[in-house]
Amino acid sequence: MKNILILGSTGSIGVNTLNVVRAYPDRFKVEGLTVNTNIDLLEQQIKEFRPSLAVVRDTLAAKELRKRITSGCEILQGEEGLLEAARRGNYDILVGALVGFAGLAPTIEGIKLSKRIALANKETLVVAGELVTRLCREYNSELIPVDSEHSAIFQCLVGEKHEEVEKLILTASGGPFLNRNSEALKNVTVSEALNHPNWKMGSKVTIDSASMMNKGLEVIEARWLFGLPKEKIDVVVHPQSIVHSMVEFVDGSIKAQMGLPDMKLPIQYALCYPERLVSKNRKTNLASVKTLTFQEPDLRKFECLRLAYEVMDCGGTAPCIMNAANEIAVGKFLEGKIKFIEIPRIIEKSLSSIENHRSPDIDVIYECDRKTRQYARNLF
């Protein structure tokens, strides 16, 4: 029996993690749940899974939840409550399903307690990859990726020698705008950008998929997860989302992990590794899929992916600047304040205006994130 703390239990990854727990009640117990403001769904989750604690980042929402949950579950609040939940340590696996920079601090607390980190939060490694991977080595904490692409690579590398890896090949669906030209992107609507052809995700992640920033974040994440330079990390567009990613070896052979676009599989793998449990999830019928296609990404159209590769060359706090500017820009787009094509403009301006610090510590990373957000908010 493994106890699980889920950071972000009402988002797509959190809900699917609870689906896995529900399917294997003899293997997993929910120790804690955290949300931002969605206390209606959290209330249902508390009643079903009976965690010992829950955290609501919004103070007023936490006060309301305490009126509804009067016994059996301690309700914490705010950023400090989130850190407290991670620090208590009465869990075996921390599922990092928060979106954005907010996932970094509690993940570090879990690492310092030598817990297994089932990581879905790309930004943790994007903004602080060097620091996080060093802490994992220092505290002997397992870092198991939950993103479907990184889970696929992780699975392909089991039993293989690191020095025999030629390159990692991350697949990308291409999102809703794969077949539109650059001119057509000037006037896309929020609803069009949120209409992903294959995956059901939260708004921020879905917009990142439409701009291919999600793939840029994943390239940086892969660099830290698997210890390879950017020259050995490729991206190919694969619209069917059946091949989740691949590894090419020095002898020319390629291993691919395949499956339907369903996040329960990589979540289950991260929770159970190195075991594989019998699953009732839908299985892949290749005969019904019929066609698998691959193509190069258009870096002129998907500028965010190009920027991510450039940021990898810069190093230091440049990835932190890119991530913070992107989070602000995506928020502005979702609110209808900027156009879709202005997202990379905000990122570029931030990268050219905010100082890049080499080998930053955690305080420098937080200050860089704060300055970038302040700067990006005042653009456009």
- Mean pLDDT over 304-314 rounds to 95
pLDDT on residue 282: 80
Residue 138 scores a pLDDT above 90? yes
pLDDT on residue 202: 82
Task: Give the pLDDT confidence of 148-207 residue by residue, as tens digits.
Answer: 999 999 999 999 999 999 999 999 999 899 999 999 899 999 999 999 887 777 899 899
Number of residues written out for the chain: 380
140, 224 contact by CB (below 8 A): no
Rounded distance between C-alpha atoms, residue 376 and residue 330, angstroms: 11
pLDDT on residue 21: 97
Residue 99 scores a pLDDT above 90? no
Task: Give the pLDDT confidence of 340-364 residue by residue, as tens digits.
Answer: 999 999 999 999 999 999 889 999 9
Q: In Å, how far are 10, 184, 241, 313, 341 from 188, measured between CA atoms?
A: 28, 7, 23, 31, 9
Q: Please report which confidence band the pLDDT of residue 103 belongs to, taking 50, 70 and 90 as the band edges.
A: very high
Q: Is 303 exposed, middle or buried (0-12, 13-18, 19+ CB in 10 A)?
A: buried
Q: Which two structure tokens, joined as six digits, stand for 240?
A: 């069917």
Indicate the residue type of 290: K
What's the CATH fold of domain 315-380?
Answer: Rna Polymerase Sigma Factor; Chain: A (1.10.1740)
The number of beta carbons lying within 10 Å of the beta carbon of residue 336 is: 9
**Taking CA 223 as the corner, what is the angle to CA 182 and CA 275, rounded to the nearest 5 degrees?**
110
Rounded distance between C-alpha atoms, residue 107 and residue 146, angstroms: 14
pLDDT on residue 115: 98
For 19, list phi and psi in degrees, rounded to 5: -65, -40
Percentage, residues of the chain above pLDDT 70: 100
List of long-range contacts for 252-256, beta carbons under 8 Å, 24+ apart: 252/166, 254/169, 255/156, 255/160, 256/152, 256/156
Of 168, 174, 159, 111, nearest to 138 by C-alpha is: 111
The number of beta carbons lying within 10 Å of the beta carbon of residue 24 is: 16
The number of beta carbons lying within 10 Å of the beta carbon of residue 140 is: 8
Task: Give the pLDDT confidence of 51-89 residue by residue, as tens digits.
Answer: 999 999 999 999 999 999 988 999 999 999 999 999 999
Q: Please report which confidence band the pLDDT of residue 100 belongs to, taking 50, 70 and 90 as the band edges.
A: confident
Q: Please report which confidence band the pLDDT of residue 279 belongs to, taking 50, 70 and 90 as the band edges.
A: confident
Does the 2-145 domain belong in CATH 3.40.50.720?
Answer: yes
Lateral strand order in the sheet of 28-35 = 74-77, 53-56, 28-35, 2-7, 93-96, 116-119, 143-145
Rounded distance between C-alpha atoms, residue 17 and residue 23, angstroms: 10
Task: Give the pLDDT confidence of 8-50 residue by residue, as tens digits.
Answer: 999 999 999 999 999 999 999 999 999 999 999 999 999 999 9
For 240, list phi and psi in degrees, rounded to 5: -75, -15
pLDDT on residue 44: 97
Task: Give the pLDDT confidence of 325-335 residue by residue, as tens digits.
Answer: 999 999 999 99
pLDDT on residue 64: 96
**What is the residue extent of each domain of the chain?**
2-145, 160-261+283-302, 315-380
Rounded distance between C-alpha atoms, residue 111 and residue 136, angstroms: 6
Q: Is 73 exposed, middle or buried (0-12, 13-18, 19+ CB in 10 A)?
A: buried
Higher pLDDT, 272 or 184: 272
In the predicted model, what is the mean pLDDT of the chain?
Answer: 95
Task: Give the pLDDT confidence of 86-95 residue by residue, as tens digits.
Answer: 999 999 999 9
- The structure's pTM equals 0.92
Rounded distance between C-alpha atoms, residue 77 and residue 84, angstroms: 9
pLDDT on residue 266: 96
131, 361 contact by CB (below 8 A): yes
pLDDT on residue 148: 94
